Amino acid sequence: MNSSPTSRQAFRAALLCMALLLFLLPAATHAQNQGLLKIGSECPDNSLVGDATCETGNCEKASTGKFYCTCTETTFVDSTDCEEAYGAIQGGWECNDGASATYDLNYCVSDENINTVPPRYPIPPTDASLVDQIIDPSISADEIRQLTIKPVTKINIPGLNFSDQKVTEENGSVFLSVPFLGEYIAAFYKWAIAAAAVVAVVAIIRAGLMWTMSGGNETSITAAKKNIGNAIIGLMLLVGSYTILYTINPELVQFRNLRVRYIEANTSLIGDHGEIDDTESVESEPGSRTDCSSYPSGWKGIDQCRKDCIAKLVPDDKSKPSGAARDISSLGYIDCSAVKGRRTLESIEYVAIHEGKKDPAIAWWWLQYVQQGPEKAYGTHYFIGRNGTISQVTDETFIVWHGNKNRQGIGVDLDAGCRSSDGSAEASKKCDYTAAQYASLQQLINSIVSRTNVIFDDDHILGHCQASDDPKKGHVDPRNFDWSKIGLTNKAHKGVRCIYSL
């Protein structure tokens, strides 16, 4: 059947419009992206409006009070925000949580080449050396030895040759001996004696010439004798200073090396669920340690080890959803490390509230387990994000070390919007919880109560800080938590370590 000229014209017009639309659509999208702010740009001081104006969708408040576009935190996961802002690198970028030295703003750091690829910050940091410590706080004695280089003096002192530093072990402790200061003082002392001797000889020669040319003038002869005597006495004092100081105290002439004790970095978080303050510690023995030694070094190799381990678990050893969480994307993430035993739902009588953020906490717990063994196998059951999203991580019937009533309790971590690694009073002022979090927490607890023996009261819904009986030792989270907003009383949750309770 032949089509009419009008139909063919209409068909051509439709094709032309479609081609024009396809041509203009990318340009419009590009123009829209061009209008968004890049990392480091100031954004409106409203979180909802500010997030929408940044390319990364993250407008963050700095400690200066201003707001800046930053990367979205993805610790232990490759950051597309950093890659788009600074280009692709080997090993990928991570977006780390902000620190005091970065004005509390998230920053980009190389995943594998931290020593060769410099970190990138939204705005210049307050102190680059502090940032270096934040980025890589754990450093071995051998690494310290490599990083401690010999000093180069501005003024060359004859005979000054710095020797190498030494790493020694005494009574189980590792010490770094730095000889530079003692060697510098000793070389300067020797140089000073030689210089003083030259000055004294010149003074004696000058006085001798004065005596010779005095022509019998008693005044000139007396002055010359006095100058010669002063020069000799000064030289004797300088040369004999060692004997004088040794007589006063032999320690004054012992130029000992500066000894620095190497202490393992404590990178634990306030919400890391350490077991030291737990009143109900788990008695069951942890499973055999997962061996990741055959995997490539670095996070990607360690994470692949975790995935392979989980793939080998039988169905009964894998976490199952309870139905209380909307997000189960991380369910089972730490099944190979955190599970200490099993229990029935009827044996669960407590819910423990902690501070914690799903990313990077679950990745950190796996890393601690691989590096330090089952004694560092921490975990939790649920996370609640700032927007109220409930994420399940572990099966409720699995016993994990979350830090309070482990055997009979379910752990729930809340993103407090502050740095869990900073326990200072100033940092603690920034910890708070959103209305969405309070509503989701109450919903979650009600769900747990419906299928366990948990009673919704102040004696069975606890804070992590209530685990310790030592006023100087233990966790202090959840900081600034308002228990009244979930139907409980604040007064009942002012334990020994609950120093930030409302």
CA gap 392, 322 in Å, rounded: 8
Query: What string of DSSP letters covers 415-460?
Result: --SS-TT--SHHHHTT----HHHHHHHHHHHHHHHHHSS--SSTTT
Cα gap 109→83, rounded to integer Å: 10
92 pLDDT higher than 90: no
CB 485 within 8 Å of CB 437: no
Indicate the pLDDT class of residue 141, thresholds 50, 70 and 90: very low
Three-state SS at 480: coil
Task: Judge contact between 192 and 265, C-beta under 8 A.
Answer: no
Q: Using the 8-state DSSP alphabet, how is residue 97 labeled?
A: P
Task: Taking residues 273-278, report their average pLDDT.
Answer: 44
The pLDDT tens digits of the residues spanning 378-388 come to 889 999 998 89
Q: Is the pLDDT of residue 221 over 70?
A: yes
Among 14-18, 39-43, 96-100, 142-146, name the one with the lowest average pLDDT: 142-146
More confident residue, 463 or 33: 463
Note the pLDDT tens digit of each residue in 30-43: 444 557 889 999 98
Report field, pTM of the whole predicted structure over 0.75: no
Which residue matches tokens 């959840």?
478
Q: For residue 181, is pLDDT > 70?
A: yes
Q: What is the DSSP letter of 319?
A: -
Give the model's pLDDT for residue 133: 44
Cβ atoms 400, 336 nearer than 8 A: no
Q: For the packed helices 218-239 and 241-248, what is the interaxial angle rounded to 10 degrees?
A: 50
| CA–centroid distance for 319 within its chain | 29
SS3 annotation, 51-92: HHHECCCCEEECCCCCEEECCCCCCCCCCHHHHHHHCCCCCC
User: How much is the pLDDT for 451?
Assistant: 94
Output the average pLDDT for the chain: 77
State phi, psi for 51 to the nearest 5 degrees. Answer: -60, -35
What is the pLDDT at residue 180?
A: 80
Which carries the bigger pLDDT value, residue 96 or residue 172? 96
Is 70 exceeded by the pLDDT of residue 79?
Answer: yes
Q: What is the DSSP string of 105-167?
A: --EEEESS-TTTS--B-SS--S-HHHHHHHHS----HHHHHHH-PPP--SS--TT--PPPPEE
Tell me which amino acid residue 404 is.
N
From 3.40.50.1260, 3.40.80.10, 2.60.34.10, 1.10.10.60, which CATH number describes the 275-493 domain? 3.40.80.10
pLDDT higher than 60, residue 146:
no
Residue among 310, 267, 316, 308 at smallest CA distance from 420:
267
Instruction: List CB contacts of 467: < 8 A, sequence separation 6 or more.
Output: 277, 278, 279, 352, 403, 404, 405, 474, 475, 497
**Cα 408 to Cα 459: distance, rounded to the nearest angstrom:** 13
Q: What is the mean pLDDT of residues 322-345?
A: 89
Q: Which amino acid is at 317?
A: D
In DSSP terms, 69 is beta-bridged to 59
**236 beta partners:** none
By DSSP bridging, strand 382-384 and strand 350-355 are unpaired
Task: Specify the residue for token string 């990392």.
Answer: 39
Q: How far apart are CA 187 and CA 177, in angstroms?
A: 18
pLDDT score for 262: 60
At 446, the pLDDT band (50, 70, 90 cuts) reads very high
Nearest residue to 384 via CA among 407, 400, 406, 361: 361
Arithmetic mean of pLDDT, 290-312 = 83
Segments in 176-293 forming alpha helices (H): 180-212, 218-239, 241-248
Q: Evaluate if residue 135 carries a pLDDT over 60.
A: no
Q: Which is more confidently placed, 277 or 324?
A: 324
Q: Which of 369, 394, 363, 368 is nearest to 381 (CA)?
A: 394
CA 498 to CA 502: how far, in whole Å?
Answer: 9
Are the C-beta atoms of 413 and 383 separated by less than 8 Å?
yes
pLDDT at 455: 95
- Average pLDDT, integer, range 229-248: 82
Mean pLDDT of the 19-36 span? 51
Please state, for a pLDDT cut of 90, what percent of the chain lies above it.
19
| Residue 32, phi then psi, degrees to nearest 5 | -65, -45
SS3 172: coil
- Gap between the Cα atoms of 102 and 134, Å rounded: 10
Residue 395 banded pLDDT, cuts 50, 70, 90: very high
In the predicted structure, residue 170 carries a pLDDT above the cut 90? no
Average pLDDT over residues 291-296: 82
Q: What is the mean pLDDT of residues 238-258?
A: 77
> What is the C-alpha to C-alpha distance for residues 48 and 51, in angstroms, rounded to an integer?
6
Band (pLDDT 50/70/90 cuts) for residue 287 is: very low
